[in-house]
Structure 1
Amino acid sequence: MTENKKYETLQEFWPFYLREHSNKMNRIFHFIGTTCALVFILSAIFYLNAWYLLGALFSGYFFAWIGHFFLEKNRPATFTYPFKSFVSDWRMYFCTITGQLGKELQKAGVK
């Protein structure tokens, strides 16, 4: 689903972001990618090696884009809203691990 609306704030972008992630397997791919990215970020800190940050970027986007192109069959919002999408990826991740994602999806109209 593509919308032509311009999102100015994260608050108004969030429901759009969730609707762009209505496929459960896409959300699972995002979760895997974000978990891998988190491991790479922690490794960069632990080993004091910034090269791990490339692994974080690659793994995060690799899994997310597979989810969008092959499962959700939509264009990742990252291409239009890079900052808002990045923040929303992490928000969705934390909503998932805290058990709040179902409530957020319901508020956004995702079944």
Structure 2
Amino acid sequence: MDIIESGATVAVPNYPTGRVIGLYGLLGGAIGSSIIGLPITIIGVIAGAITPAGFGVMQAVAILFSIIILGSLIGLLPSLVTGVVICHFQIYFDSSNEVLPLFIIGCLSTFIVFLAIILL
């Protein structure tokens, strides 16, 4: 049996291009906005902007879902661009070493898309 080194790359003939672009497009904006929206909602409850009594929990959940839906719509284009760039470089998320390049690609594509929207 051959021993595979930990830094070895694996060549896969069928890179899941459609799956990667589709999942990034569908989930990228929702995940990004939930990362931002959850602390905003918690701070709103703590600060008293969202009343904790009565329907306060339901109000906080409704605000969080609204942030996620709005973030999905706004983040759709940057997420698709991120998926296309990841497919171009055929990056696999097989270890924790791949998190930083994916994070940098996501931040740069979001910045470039929003800069293009603002300038055009």
TM-score by length of 1: 0.36
